[in-house]
Amino acid sequence: MAIKHFASLSLVILALATTLLAGQAEARGGLGGNLCRRADYPVICRSAVKRLSNPYAAMSSAIRQLIDETNKAKRLAAKLGSSGAGDVCRESYSDAIGNLQTCSVNLRRHDKSGLRINLSAALSAFGDCDDALSDYGRSPLSKTNQALNKMASNGLYLATLIH
């Protein structure tokens, strides 16, 4: 009879230990290895961070991808010619790229406030392009700007995870 209780007790202890260790791992990992779980746009976030679990490395990857996508948008804006909106968008994208490059420097220096400021400035630059295009109705850059806005928003979220 005592052996039967001992076996049950050891299973209870094993279950309790497993639960406690899992809780510690969650507390240590914060988001359990899924940095994008609480992002505004988790699917886009996961695409940018490529299964990285270190917030610093994930932020670096997200910045690089945002710079690449902003460069593509800038080339697309060049196809609009020298219309007023096209010029504004090209300039806005150039400003955003500069802000994002500064984000990389902020990240290396562990300057969290500078990182957030420059990400916000890039987000604002995308909005400047949207404002310039608003008079033209539907624009080939509308979806591009929407994607850039989502990526920058996720970047602001990832910046909160860096310690």
- State residue 3's pLDDT score: 53
pTM (2 d.p.)? 0.78
Distance CA 150, CA 62 (A): 11
Are 114 and 136 found together in one domain? Answer: yes
- State residue 14's pLDDT score: 40
- State residue 7's pLDDT score: 45
Q: What is the mean pLDDT of each run of 10 residues along the chain (163 residues)?
A: 48 42 40 80 93 94 98 92 85 98 97 97 95 78 94 97 90
Distance CA 27, CA 87 (A): 48
- State residue 109's pLDDT score: 96
pLDDT tens for 49-89 read: 988 999 999 999 999 999 999 999 999 999 887 778 889 99
Are 26 and 92 found together in one domain? Answer: no
Domain span including residue 104: 33-159
Are 100 and 22 found together in one domain? Answer: no
